[in-house]
Structure 1
Amino acid sequence: MTPVMFPLVVGLVLAVPLTVDDVTVVELRATVNDMTPEQRVARAHERIDSLPEADLSRPVHVAREGADMLILVGDEFVFGLTGGDGFADEAALEAGSRAAANKLHDALALRVARARPDAILESVGLALIGTLLFALGLILLVRAWGLLSRRLVAVNVDMKRIAIGPLIRNALRRILFALLWALALLLGYLWLTFVLTRFSFTRGWGEALGANLLSLVIRAGRSFAGALPGLAMVAVVVVATRFLTRVFDAVFDAVERGRLTVRGLYPETLKATRRLVTVGTWLFAAIISWPYIPGSDTEAFKGMSVLLGLMLTVGSSGVVNQALSGFVLVYTRALSPGDWVKVGDVEGRVRELGVLSVKVLTPNNREVTIPNAVLVANPIANFDRGVDGDGASVSIVVTLGYDAPWRRIHELLLETARQVDVVREKPRPFVRQSALGNWFVEYELVAHIVENANVDDARSALHAKAQDVFAASELELMTPDVLDVRRHRS
């Protein structure tokens, strides 16, 4: 079978390779006796294909004819070479002719060897072995997929009471599936290349596949080698940033443990400040590293940057508003986890202070989520911030008539506070007369409760104990409604 020749451009001269059984013997460039290089190559193939099988094993030698060199198989002329075929002088022409003769000898010897029955059987055997190895590789990939799938079942990750294990499992499953398919396709490519190169009539296709794969590997290697300086710079930036964040973490840990005092850093803002500094440091590192990332100057990267910027601009206005409101809450220290607060109609203990919202646990054991922007726009009553370190304060109001001695009322209310377990001894509870009505006096008892005590439960306990104490003292608590009813009865 005569392969198709593709001319090569060398300078301004077309070079046509003479290939015999996938072995490039020589490249012809000159036009001789009105025969173009393509015609000379075709004529050489005709002469080679017309050689008897017995002549294929005869020696190939070189003969001179004037200024040209002749290549002969035995006594049969095959093709000739001239100085116009790219040889600078006679010495170069002679050396090139001998090299072409040696290559032609090797190609003819290979043709003879492939034509032997034992060579064909050997090629078939090697192809079968390659096929078995390919099948074994596919079986191993299938078993690896089954093993990894069973391992993925054990993945179980919870984040803020949200099970994200299934999401991670699905993502890993798809990534592994794609990788295994890529390996299977690569094995199939290698198997096809190996099998095609075992037989003379398909060797050209197999070698072309192998050359394409080799070219791809070489290009990838060159690209990787060219990207090494940029990757090294990115690695240096990452290592330096990691070291810097560890230094910042050490400073924040020292401040948190009280070994270091930094003006402007408070326990309530320490966690948020740590996050801001860490995120800001890594963002700065990303900006520095961006030009050194391979492919960062391509149109694909630029388009992706524009798309991400547009998505953030259009879709994140509400998120940014909530996040900024969260920073306002943190740095004004309006509330912190564990505080008992009241915002509008919602009253309870702060359970979580998040980036976008605050979770409050009400006395009815219901969790209410309040967006940060709502908290910033409304007054916040914090019952734990009255006196530093003294716990939340609660108050109850009772009314009695003017005939009841007010000093006695003060004593009974203070006794009420002493009999409630969650009321702290220090600071001491106190009583004040908050109003003088037409028919009664309004007394207010203010007390501080222990840490983490429920404000509503403490207020309820004070109300119940006040009724017991005043009933034991034979003093009746009055309200405007009760007083009005008694006046009408009398």
Structure 2
Amino acid sequence: SKINVAPVIVNGEVLFEVIGIRFFPAKERAKIIANRIERIAEDNSLNPNSITIREHEHLSDIMYGNTIIMAILDADTKHLGYVHRKTLAEAYVGRIREGIEAYRLERTSEKLEDNIIQGIVRTLALIVILFLMRWLFRSIDKLIEKVFKRRIESLEVKSMRMIQSEQIWRVIRTATTLLKVGLTLALVYVFLNYVLTLFPMTRYVAGRLLEIVVDPLQTMAIGIINYLPSLFFLVILFLASRYILRLLHGFFDAIDRQHMRFKNFDAEWAWPTYRIVRIVVIVFAIVIAYPYIPGSSSDAFKGISLFLGVLLSLGSTSVISNIIAGYTMTYRNAFKVGDRVRIGDTIGDVLEVRLLVTYLNSLKNEKIVIPNSTILNSEITNYSNQVNANGLILHTQVGIGYEVPWRQVEAMLIEAASRSSGLMEEPAPFVLQTALTDFAVTYELNAYCKDATKMVQFYSELHRRIQDVFNEYGVQIMTPNYIADTPDQKLVPVEQWYTPPATKS
């Protein structure tokens, strides 16, 4: 098994390494030893030559007076390849004495002032070099542009514009930029390494500076290499899933174009069904790929997945209900794009049916957005559904007094319908008596039309013709109802039909 080892660092220098023992990890052991050595080094009255070795049966104690600095075990001796524990203890004592002397020397005022001056000088040198490098690269850019840009443009002309000069120029500029960044990073690294080495507090970091940068990159590279088999599997799974989706796309496209037909399966269902099948295929592929995704077995990945799942379930309730409603409406054949429909209290033409919402163009030319879940829970009237088959029945009511023969009223209503443009002659219009109220009979005129999108105009035209016919025959329309007849009949004589500002069209 791998032995747990940690360095004992004093004054930014590694004196030696120690191994971990049971209930005493190597890092903690090394830190305690380093603290004890530094406490001795900080007290200039203590002589490092007074450090001694006290031998025991299974360990050797390195002592300063009655204070134990560290204990050397047989395991330490075995790990470092020494034959005798005392030999290792003597080597450690020598390193501890050197470390104490270096610690005290590095912290004298003269040494610190000298290091600070060197740090300032090196910082100024770095700034000057960076400014010179910036000027140099600007000069190089101008030189490259002056020498090569025309040649690149002429190369573009000669290649019949198959080679774009802008692309070549972008590559050259990118190369010079990368060179400039690389040189800058190298200079900064050298500067930091020199400056951090000057001071004992940062010397250990300076020694590991390259390691700090390289280790993550090395770890990433090793992780990518170890992940290659899983990556190949995911690539193959992706290609297979993509090929299956292409086959399904072609299959449902053939159904949509009616090159293939199935009983009780409308061509309009092709693309919605394809979207459902596509989601199933993608989800199935994700389930298969999940164990091969890097970090999928980690607790963090599982926690994030669970957190996102909870957020999705709590925040997308209405979205999911609208999606389900959208697909449900597709298979209900309630309406299609272009139909004139009534949804709740809204009448309009269907502009677009999407997964979440449906767009209507109202009779006032307003664009109305209705959630699909609302449509699913509402009563839908489709005026266009039966137009092409038997025609849409338009119906309107009038109240006529009991003194007027019902046969005359029905004949007048049929005549008004025959005068109205846009209404069908076959099937013929018909009249129903829907109610016998206290003062009038309620008649309902029903007439067929072929264009549901013009039903409002047809209604207006029909109402005009009803008024004209009843005025011609001297019959009053009792709407609203009244109790007693007025002295003058409520009629509009023919000669007053075009009273100004009305004009004959």
Question: How would you bin the TM-score normalised by the shorter chain?
Answer: 0.5 to 0.7
1:194 aligns with 2:197: no
Aligned match of 2:14: 4
Counterparts in 2 of 1:358 and 1:28: CA distance versus 1, 3 Å: same
The C-alpha deviation readout for 1:429-473, integer Å capped at 9, x for no partner, is: 52112117666572523222336x2432332233234445666x6
Give yes or no for contact 1:416–1:466 (8 Å, CA) kept in 2: no
1:36 aligns with 2:90: yes
Q: Name stretches of at least 5 consecutive residues in structure 2 with no aligned partner.
A: 1-10, 21-73, 101-121, 139-179, 490-505
Give yes or no for contact 2:414–2:445 (8 Å, CA) kept in 1: no
SS in 2 for 1:237: helix
Corresponding letter in the other structure for 1:276: I
Aligned match of 1:147: none
Q: TM-score, length-normalised on structure 2?
A: 0.57
Q: For 2:284 and 2:187, how far apart are their aligned partners in 1?
A: 48
Cα deviation for residue 315 of structure 1 reads 3.2
Aligned match of 1:100: none
Give yes or no for contact 1:340–1:382 (8 Å, CA) kept in 2: yes
Aligned match of 2:252: 252
1:402 aligns with 2:374: no
Aligned match of 2:455: 455
Cα deviation for residue 347 of structure 1 reads 2.1
The residue correspondences of 1:460-471 to structure 2 (distance < 5 A) are 460-468=460-468
Of residues 426, 430, 433 in structure 2, which corresponds to 1:432? 430
Aligned match of 2:220: 220
Q: Name stretches of at least 5 consecutive residues in structure 1 with no aligned partner.
A: 18-26, 47-122, 140-183
Aligned match of 1:301: 301
1:478 aligns with 2:477: yes
Give yes or no for contact 1:363–1:454 (8 Å, CA) kept in 2: no
Counterparts in 2 of 1:14 and 1:483: CA distance versus 1, 3 Å: same
Cα deviation for residue 193 of structure 1 reads 2.2
Counterparts in 2 of 1:320 and 1:262: CA distance versus 1, 3 Å: same
Q: For 1:330 and 1:4, how far apart are their aligned partners in 2?
A: 74
Counterparts in 2 of 1:406 and 1:474: CA distance versus 1, 3 Å: closer
Give yes or no for contact 1:30–1:37 (8 Å, CA) kept in 2: no
Cα deviation for residue 299 of structure 1 reads 1.0
SS in 2 for 1:294: coil
The C-alpha deviation readout for 1:196-254, integer Å capped at 9, x for no partner, is: 45689559754421122222211110111112222222222222222222222212222
Give yes or no for contact 1:346–1:362 (8 Å, CA) kept in 2: yes
1:285 aligns with 2:288: no
Cα deviation for residue 305 of structure 1 reads 1.6
Please say which of residues 376-385 and 290-299 is displaced more in the overlay.
376-385
Give yes or no for contact 1:13–1:29 (8 Å, CA) kept in 2: no
The residue correspondences of 1:22-171 to structure 2 (distance < 5 A) are 36-41=90-95, 131-132=130-131
Please say which of residues 34-43 and 336-345 is displaced more in the overlay.
34-43
Give yes or no for contact 1:383–1:393 (8 Å, CA) kept in 2: no
The C-alpha deviation readout for 1:85-132, integer Å capped at 9, x for no partner, is: xxxxxxxxxxxxxxxxxxxxxxxxxxxxxxxxxxxxxx9999568745
Aligned match of 2:418: 415
Give yes or no for contact 2:241–2:281 (8 Å, CA) kept in 1: yes
Cα deviation for residue 359 of structure 1 reads 3.5
Cα deviation for residue 365 of structure 1 reads 2.8
Please say which of residues 126-135 and 246-255 is displaced more in the overlay.
126-135
Q: For 1:414 and 1:429, how far apart are their aligned partners in 2?
A: 12
Corresponding letter in the other structure for 2:477: M
The C-alpha deviation readout for 1:12-66, integer Å capped at 9, x for no partner, is: 345999xxxxxxxxx98866768533235578999xxxxxxxxxxxxxxxxxxxx
Q: For 1:476 and 1:484, how far apart are their aligned partners in 2?
A: 17
SS in 2 for 1:270: helix
Q: For 2:91 and 2:341, how far apart are their aligned partners in 1?
A: 95
Q: For 2:334 and 2:87, how far apart are their aligned partners in 1?
A: 100
Cα deviation for residue 367 of structure 1 reads 3.8
Cα deviation for residue 136 of structure 1 reads 8.3
Q: TM-score, length-normalised on structure 1?
A: 0.58
Aligned match of 2:61: none
The residue correspondences of 1:267-346 to structure 2 (distance < 5 A) are 267-346=267-346
1:353 aligns with 2:353: yes
Q: For 2:12 and 2:312, how far apart are their aligned partners in 1?
A: 62
Give yes or no for contact 2:398–2:479 (8 Å, CA) kept in 1: no
SS in 2 for 1:435: strand
Aligned match of 1:162: none
SS in 2 for 1:430: coil
Counterparts in 2 of 1:329 and 1:12: CA distance versus 1, 3 Å: same
1:445 aligns with 2:446: yes
Percent sequence identity is 20
RMSD: 4.7
